[in-house]
Every structure is written in structure tokens, then in C-alpha cells.
Copies of this chain bind each other. A is one copy, B any other.
Amino acid sequence: MSLPLGFTGARLDRADQLRTNADGFAAAAADPRARCLALDGIDFVPGEGGGLRWDPLDPADDRALLLLGIDDGGIPHFVREAAAGTRIDARSRTVMRLLPLLSGEDAALYGGARSLVDWHARHRFCAVCGSPTDPFRGGWGRCCTQCNAEHFPRVDPVVIMLATYEGRALVGRQGGFPPGFFSALAGFVEPGESLEEAVARELFEEAGLRVADVRYVASQPWPFPSSLMIGCRAVATDPALTLDTTEIEAAMWVDKDEVRAALAGDMGAPFMAPPPLAIARHLLEDWAG
């Protein structure tokens, strides 16, 4: 592959053992070298020399500390729960514009932190009984103050797949995409199905395709808010399309030359390819490369 997959490659040790060790967690939080990720809401704040900004821990800040991990030098890295009432958007234009400026490692670290802070902000109450919840396990869960139900951060698996048929691949666009932009089709995995079944179901629902073969290609997290993108390839048995226009505005079969032109950003390409942070780009490169 030409580039590492987006939002992968964070180099902190998540230090799972500290999450359930109150003394170890307290020692990490008391470490004078400990750092806290600077956020504006849940967007990152660029540091002076580029990259993420890390601040010393502010003892006057009473928001819960969430442990991101420990770096190679033993320095604990934290992020704080968002203040109550912080506006949480699924997507941020600012972040999408700034993300390509981060190193892959910083993007991965921020992505995980963003998903975690977002999850805490939208899980202040217990889904079982409606009572308030408090963070526990070093910030990797919340526990109900009344019924003691334990809740853990969501990771929503999404299949994203390149359907192929006799030397061509299917790209589609949703209504909200920028003009000319096409990508691989995708959808959330539902309870009661394997990845392969989810790929087949989504391609049939969205494009009317039946597939004979599904193959895993690669995966990456996508922190808007907390998807796990599982990239696959699927061989269609027939190229006729029946689009679900509530999901897909347009779709088309493209050949490898057309995909290569799109990946190269050629003005004459029949579509604009997804950006490097998106696994859809990797699927196109993997197929056309």
C-alpha cells in the first residue's frame, strides 16, 4: 500500500493494567511529566510547532481524566471529559481541514481520543435506568450511580466495499458529497450478521447487486464518531444496478485507468477520489494498483 491507513499507528501503550489499578492511575495522574490533550470542544488544537497541543495537567480542572496511554519514555498522556453542555458534532469542518496537517501518528492518537470524549459526552446517563453515570476504568467506561450497570465505549463496525465486475469497480455518491466526489459503498454491520453477510446485504440494498465472493482487504478506525471501517472487495454476479436513491444519489462502474486517473487527481478523471485518510482510497489503490 502507498500510505499507512488513516487514523492508525498511534504509538502510545494503552496501559490497560492502569485502568483497573487505582494506585497506578493516581501515580500516573500525579506524574509531573503527565500531559493532557488540548481540545476545543472535541476538536484538536494545533500546537505551536504543528501537531497536537499537549498541556500540563491542571489540578484546578475537575473534569474526569481519561487515560490515553503511556509513551516510550513513560510519560502518561490523558484527555479530559468534555465540560457538561459542550457542543458535540459528529463532524467538524475545522478538524477535517486541519487533519491532513497532522502526522499519521498524531491523527491516530487524536482520533481515538475524540471518539472516547465524544462517547463520554453522549453517555452521561444510564441506558438501562436513566440515572447519571460516572467514568470508571481510567476513563474507558461509565458506571451507573444507581443500578451499577457498566457501559463501555462504542465501536461501530462498518463494512465499506468495492464491488467489482469484469475489470470494473463500482463507485457511488451520496447527496451530501462534494461535487464530482465518488467513493466505495458502505453501511453499518447489524446484529446477527457476519462481515461478509453485511457486505452482501448492503450491496443488494443500496445497488441491487448480488455478490459471489467477499474478501477482506484492510481496516481502520474512523472517529466521526467511532466507526471501525472494515474494507472489503466483493465480486458482483451481474452489473445491473438498482439504486436505493434514499442512500445513493448516483453510482457507476469505472475501469482501472479511470480509477488511476482519479487517484492521480487528473482533471480528465470521471470522478474525484476519496482523500488519503479514507480507507475507500486504499480500496481503490489496492484494486487498481
Contact = CB atoms under 8 A, between A and B. Distances in A.
Given A125-B125, A130-B130, A157-B157, A192 B16 contact: no
B228 A195 contact: yes
A205 B15 CA distance: 8
Interface in A144-177: 149, 151-157
B244 A221 contact: no
Interface in A231-258: 244, 246
A157 B157 CA distance: 6
A100 to B, nearest CB: 18
A5 interface: yes
Contacts of A201: 14
A72 to B, nearest CB: 14
Most buried by B among A8, A108, A197: A197
A127 B132 contact: no
A103 interface: no
Contacts of A155: 156-157, 188-191
Interface in A92-141: 108-109, 111-113, 115-116, 119, 122-132, 140
A152 B228 contact: no
Interface string A10-32: 10001011001000000000000
A262 to B, nearest CB: 24
Given A155-B157, A157-B157, 11 more contacts: A112-B192, A113-B192, A123-B128, A126-B130, A154-B154, A154-B191, A155-B189, A155-B190, A191-B221, A193-B221, A230-B230
22 contacts: A7-B192, A8-B194, A10-B192, A10-B193, A14-B190, A111-B192, A116-B192, A119-B191, A123-B127, A126-B130, A127-B151, A130-B132, A140-B190, A153-B191, A155-B188, A155-B189, A157-B228, A189-B228, A191-B226, A193-B221, A195-B219, A216-B216
